[in-house]
Structure 1
Amino acid sequence: MDKKFTSDEVPLAQLLGQADSGALQLPDFQRGWVWDDYGIRSLLASISLSYPIGAVMTLQTGNPEVKFRPRPLEGVEGTQQKEPDLLLLDGQQRATSLYLVLKSGRPVPTRDARNKKMERLYYVDIRAALDPAADREDAIVSVPADGQVKNFRGEVQLDLSTRDAEIAKEHFPLAAVLDYTETMAWQLKYLSEGPGESSDRLATWMAFNEGIINAFVQYQVPVIELIKATPKEAVCQVFEKVNTGGVSLTVFELLTATYAADDFNLRDDWADRESRFDQHGVLGRFRETDFLQVVTLLATLARREAFLVKNSDAAVAPAVSCKRKDVLRLALEDYQQWADIATKAIERVVPFLHSEHIFTSNDVPYPTQIVPLAAAIARLESDADSFGVRELLRRWLWCGVFGEMYGGSTETRFAFDLPDILTWVEDPEAEPRTVREAQFQAARLLSLRTRGSAAYKGLYALQMKRGGRDFRTGTTIDIHAHADDAIDIHHIFPQKWGSKNNVDARLIDSVVNKSAIDAHTNRRIGGNAPSAYLASIEKSDKISEAELDAILRSHDIAPHHLRDDNFPAFFTHRFERLVKQIEEAMGKPVNRASDGSDNPFAAQAAGSSDPAAVIAEMIQQGETKVIEFKSTGRLNTFTGDKDPAIEWSLLKTIAAFANAYGGSAIVGVADDGTVVGIEGDLPFVHKHDLDGWMLWFTKAVADSMGKLTAADLDIQPATIEDKLVLKIDVGPAAKPVFAKSPKDPKPVFMTRLGNATHELSGQELLDYLQQRWPTA
């Protein structure tokens, strides 16, 4: 194996001489010199005792693939235009400190223990240095730049402002220790004019020269020198391994130094782009390194595609990647080619996230997922705005979130996300690996308790997207309401209530028991039982019970469970609603426990909430915005025959509830509340039984409105007055639902206006869509 470095010992004077001449400089990515006065004195004391101070590491220059803009060590002047022979990778703080003290000839700019800036000159107290009982660090003295140490009253305590004063106080200036001429001049003056007897001065100087001065003059610094051929990523990796500052450099800082060699200021370029991103709160955590990853993904994909045009062997083609080493290899011309394209794509990510009701940087489930999303949008160009492609991107996004795919090292996933998404757009059967591999365990809902989890944030966004209405104002939660009303996620059954009623705190804190609620309403909820705070809201905000029920349904909350303070029934119903939302977002079933144990209250809720009693209560309430009665689903009670118009009437109600804020269709009950039952429908369904009716209706909804709407239904039978009645719960839809009549393939849009179902079209439809799905 070829050796990548050499090691040797270099005299300290030679090393500092190389720095002074510009032969040894710093790579521009090195941070500034930061040592304080105490650190400098400690370093000087170590050298005076010939103690090791650690090796320094240098890099031979001249490799065209490893170009960093050089800069002189701090304090070195007149070498800015000189090309160095060596770059100092490790040892900057020590080398700079020694250069400033021993070679620069000027006061050293440093800081005191309180981080206050000051300038100091450094001396050795000769008598203290020769005292074997004294601490050597006490013998290294620093004084202000004027050479005078004063007390708080301004009285001079130590004066070293002139050569005569230095001699009198027997303080040798370390600025002269490597300068033979200056040292000899100081020696001669000390021997002839110093304090005490001449014989004592001679003995003192000889001991000082032998023990202290020679320690500096003869000091050897271990130097590890990386050879010229060392690749850039290895240089950067080595630098970080040995960096005594303890702070890893980012690829941005390293690339800034690389581009500076070609007179391109990456830092200024990023500042301009960052100012554009800062206008969007949802990009608040998007950093410069993320931006470089987007650019690198685009550049490496273009490089791979160009290769494959000439060579069909994909196995040897350059890889799509944005790993650290690939970012460090990003050529300036590639950056300049793709940076503007990446910037525009990142800005286009903003409305996409807003359409998913992700409004702030704190709401973004995985900030890292913006990287491949932006790269994909950049390559898809205008196609990314088409409905079909946005649906694919949406599914990819939520599979990543609920599959919790971006929690660890993500660069490898980014690399296959980009080409996978592009292939998927061309071939809908070719699902990306992120979509294919994503799995969600239903029991995970029980452990999602804080917004630190991506899946928790994802459910928060889905709840708002499905039409969650503000408890207090009743308006749909969009980006404006989110900010204006301080919308956040809060408990539905309060923690205090849960504690009083011995409910497991883990379930009270679960995302199942939380929803988007404004700060004003949350304060009113306090620790009260739901039945109490709902009554308070109705009274203080003049909201009818039926209207508040509609608002609760928009959050997938069964109102009667809250009004009965029935936590098990509430939890079970909402657990199942959230499962369906996740399945709709991911486009695949979630994983369920075969024994139903993932829903902790399923068995208890089944016994605690009598469907017949619930339906009877709803019949007593009468038709509202969220309740509608249907005598039958297929039978025309006047003709006694199956009637498509009757079927279409029920389908329109389902579509209307989905497009509003959810609701319940009670089938088997006449408009006036008379229970008639669905028995008349059974001759017209398979096997003439309830299962046949439910199969028929589910298929009818799927044919009319799509499988997603059909999957969102919850059909619950009950026997009332010895007649079979069905309650069909419909959740609020995350996007507009258009329904097709069995007799007419033209889709129509239905919604609830007051207590009735209406068809909208033209400007009315456009206005409603904007109001209901404002970010769609």
Structure 2
Amino acid sequence: MGFQTPMYTLSQYLEETRAGKIQLPDFQRGYKWDDERIRQLLITVLRGHPMGVVMLLETNNALVRFKPRPVSGVELTPGTEPEKLLLDGQQRLTSLTQALTGDGIVHTKDARGKLLERRYFVNMAAALEDVNRMDEAVISVPADGVIRKNFDRDIVLDLSTPDKQREEGFFPLNLLFDATGSMQWLFGCEDKDLAFAFQEKFVAQVGKYNIPAIELDADTDKAAVATVFEKVNIGGLPLNVFELLTAVFAGDAAYFDETGSDFRLNDDWQETKRLWSDYPVLGGVENTDFLQAVTMLATRKRHLASTSSRPPAISAKREDVLKLDLSEYLEWRDPLREAFIWVSGFLADRHVFNRRDVPYPKQLVPLAAIRVVLGQKADLHSVSANLSTWFWSGVLGELYGSATETRFVRDIEGVPAWTVDTSYPTPRTVADANFVESRLHSMRTRNSAAYKGVAALIMARESRDWMENKAFGAVQHKDMAVDIHHIFPQKWCNDNGIDDEHRESIVNKTMLSARTNRVIGGVAPSQYLAKIEHQAGISGGELNELLEAHLIDPRCLRADDFWSFFTNRREQLCLLIESVLDKNVQRDVSQGIAAEDSSHFEEGAFDEIPEGEE
């Protein structure tokens, strides 16, 4: 990659944007500058102050073929090919192109986001009197040139015609680079001295206004474009690989030759989301997640096909996503669409039914890719059981909170073979997973993936709601508004001196319907159990069985014995976690290795719904 730093006049930029020699790559976001920012930019130009650097990319580039589009507001003949693509400076050059050429009408918005059409004028006398008055000299007016007040009943300033503009002394800035138009307009002024002075000081001088450029040469690849764009575009939003590939895929010549149209990646993603619309658990899967899954499968195929002693690596990294070809995307798109739907079923079998309760949305990326590799083997009893161990290892070991790209690759490399035959090396995620008893004390909100995981495991034990005696299936979960609620209510705990650590721990939480939670209220367990028996028409023995399915000792609840309850249930949860990890949970609290400490809890930091307030 090479570059040069030429200096071009503003008039050259305007000529090239209007002629289509400079266009935008399709990954650029839309024009969005508001009225005041545009006015301030025009003031900068009139004062002769620098407005920053723009970045351009040569289009005769064999490595990158972006789909171009004209600068907003410019109409081009279909098929007009650019000579350069504008990577940085879109908002500035779009504002200047619209405000300083043609009819000068800019499609913008006000500070509240209301869409506007504005034109810009400069008061010649004020500008000439003192350059420091330029801020008040440059004004923004509606597209018709008339400023009104009193609900548009009264006209404050009318600049709708050249004669009225000259009469008021306001020069239209869209004539600033129009030599013939500006001369005719100024020649019509009665005050020739004012017109001549304005011509000399501003119209003539602005023609010399320069803007430096950074021009990337034809050897610049996609990854470099993305990196450079992100580094220089610090005032905007970071470049998304999905947006960049949208432009790359739209510029795929082979696809156009075959189909007669450009490939629209965003439209394709919308179709993917439509296919997933009946699976709410997939609501958190992002377009970049999907591309990472495609990249893992594409790079895995290259890796397996290589005969080199150093085959290309399997990857989910950004730079490798950017190297995807459209043909590779299309090869893996449909298998992955189906695999993610399979993932929704896999999660439902583990009592994860909606987006909010997915422990790690990013873990679904390798899970879907693994499903593609395994195919129908993924549904075999032993394979599914091993996949479950891997899944719970990631969740309860809390291994998908960071550095996910590296773990993605390790999992796609090791999990498929191991699930089919456990004589293969144990995958790193399974080997790395670890859980200690004291972690149950600090798991207290949905910010913890393990917290959500334990809640799902409790439901998966065929536990049922206490009032309605219904299993927590997908339909019932939604219909009953099932959520995670306190067993010993918050109010009771506060009244009885139970500290935050124990009160808010997952040990003191379980999955219950909104109806049951309302009956519980804030009273002692012995009292609300009696209410449940009475209102639900259930015997004490039957209710005890429901409690035991939630790993709760009924005797402790009926005696309002919080500490015996907590110790017993903590042990039961440790046993439950051991059963899915196939590993021992270290009893660090029970053995006196870890101290119980609630000092790190912040008052009001808990996100659960208080009892009886649904």
Work out whether the TM-score is over 0.5.
yes
Output the CA distance in 1 between the equivalents of 2:470 and 2:147. 71
Specify the code of the residue in structure 2 equivalent to 1:361: R
Matches within 5 A, 1:358-437: 358-429=352-423, 430-437=425-432
Specify the code of the residue in structure 1 equivalent to 2:212: P
Output the CA distance in 2 between the equivalents of 1:11 and 1:133. 22
Output the CA distance in 1 between the equivalents of 2:422 and 2:449. 27
* Deviation of the 1:265 alpha carbon: 0.9
Query: What secondary structure sits across from 1:130 in the alignment?
Result: helix
Output the CA distance in 2 between the equivalents of 1:275 and 1:471. 37
Q: Which residue of 2 aligns with 1:147?
A: 145
Q: Which residue of 2 aligns with 1:323?
A: 317
Q: Which residue of 1 aligns with 2:177?
A: 178
Unaligned runs of 5+ in 1: 196-200, 602-776
Q: Which residue of 1 aligns with 2:224?
A: 234
Contact kept, 8 Å, 2:104 with 2:173, in 1: the verdict is no
Query: What secondary structure sits across from 1:423 in the alignment?
Result: helix
The answer to whether residue 2 in structure 2 is matched with residue 8 in structure 1 is no
Unaligned runs of 5+ in 2: 253-261, 597-614
Specify the code of the residue in structure 1 equivalent to 2:187: L
* Deviation of the 1:146 alpha carbon: 2.7
Q: Provide Cα deviations, 1:453-488, integer angstroms capped at 9, x if missing partner.
A: 100000000001112111112232222221121211
* Deviation of the 1:271 alpha carbon: 1.0
The answer to whether residue 459 in structure 2 is matched with residue 460 in structure 1 is no
Q: Which residue of 2 aligns with 1:67?
A: 65
Instruction: Note closer, same or farther for the CA distance 1:73–1:375 as it changes in structure 2 (3 Å cut).
Output: same
Q: Provide Cα deviations, 1:403-425, integer angstroms capped at 9, x if missing partner.
A: 10011131111011111112213
The answer to whether residue 236 in structure 2 is matched with residue 246 in structure 1 is yes
Contact kept, 8 Å, 2:462 with 2:549, in 1: the verdict is yes
Q: Which residue of 1 aligns with 2:81?
A: 83
Contact kept, 8 Å, 1:346 with 1:374, in 2: the verdict is yes
Q: Which residue of 2 aligns with 1:719?
A: none
The answer to whether residue 126 in structure 2 is matched with residue 128 in structure 1 is yes
- Corresponding residue to 2:249 among 245, 253, 259: 259
Matches within 5 A, 1:508-523: 508-523=503-518
Instruction: Note closer, same or farther for the CA distance 1:484–1:135 as it changes in structure 2 (3 Å cut).
Output: same
Matches within 5 A, 1:274-313: 274-307=273-306, 310-311=307-308, 313=309
Output the CA distance in 2 between the equivalents of 1:378 and 1:357. 22
The answer to whether residue 92 in structure 2 is matched with residue 102 in structure 1 is no
The answer to whether residue 587 in structure 2 is matched with residue 592 in structure 1 is yes
Instruction: Note closer, same or farther for the CA distance 1:475–1:168 as it changes in structure 2 (3 Å cut).
Output: closer
Query: What secondary structure sits across from 2:236 in the alignment?
Result: coil
Matches within 5 A, 1:207-226: 207-226=197-216
Output the CA distance in 2 between the equivalents of 1:256 and 1:550. 56
Q: Which residue of 2 aligns with 1:574?
A: 569
Query: What secondary structure sits across from 1:264 in the alignment?
Result: coil
Query: What secondary structure sits across from 1:502 in the alignment?
Result: coil
Q: Which residue of 2 aligns with 1:730?
A: none
Specify the code of the residue in structure 2 equivalent to 1:60: E
The answer to whether residue 515 in structure 2 is matched with residue 524 in structure 1 is no
Output the CA distance in 1 between the equivalents of 2:502 and 2:509. 10
Q: Provide Cα deviations, 1:43-81, integer angstroms capped at 9, x if missing partner.
A: 111111111111111111122221210011112222441
Q: Provide Cα deviations, 1:243-288, integer angstroms capped at 9, x if missing partner.
A: 2552223221111111111210111111111011121121121121
Specify the code of the residue in structure 2 equivalent to 1:534: L
Q: Which residue of 2 aligns with 1:736?
A: none
Give the percent of matched residue pairs that are identical in Structure 1 and Structure 2.
Answer: 45
* Deviation of the 1:133 alpha carbon: 7.4
Specify the code of the residue in structure 2 equivalent to 1:34: K
Q: Which residue of 1 aligns with 2:609?
A: none
Specify the code of the residue in structure 1 equivalent to 2:83: D
- Corresponding residue to 2:543 among 522, 525, 548: 548
Specify the code of the residue in structure 2 equivalent to 1:77: E
Query: What secondary structure sits across from 1:135 in the alignment?
Result: helix
TM-score with structure 2 length normalisation?
0.92
Tell me the C-alpha RMSD between the 2 structures: 1.8
Contact kept, 8 Å, 2:24 with 2:68, in 1: the verdict is yes
Instruction: Note closer, same or farther for the CA distance 1:106–1:533 as it changes in structure 2 (3 Å cut).
Output: same
Q: Provide Cα deviations, 1:115-159, integer angstroms capped at 9, x if missing partner.
A: 332322222211010122752121112333333333335343323
The answer to whether residue 31 in structure 2 is matched with residue 41 in structure 1 is no
Output the CA distance in 1 between the equivalents of 2:455 and 2:154. 68
Q: Provide Cα deviations, 1:381-420, integer angstroms capped at 9, x if missing partner.
A: 1100000100110000000001100111311110111111
Output the CA distance in 1 between the equivalents of 2:485 and 2:200. 76
Q: Which residue of 2 aligns with 1:535?
A: 530
* Deviation of the 1:41 alpha carbon: 1.3
Contact kept, 8 Å, 2:55 with 2:86, in 1: the verdict is yes
* Deviation of the 1:210 alpha carbon: 3.0
Instruction: Note closer, same or farther for the CA distance 1:335–1:53 as it changes in structure 2 (3 Å cut).
Output: same
Output the CA distance in 2 between the equivalents of 1:298 and 1:77. 41
Query: What secondary structure sits across from 1:318 in the alignment?
Result: coil
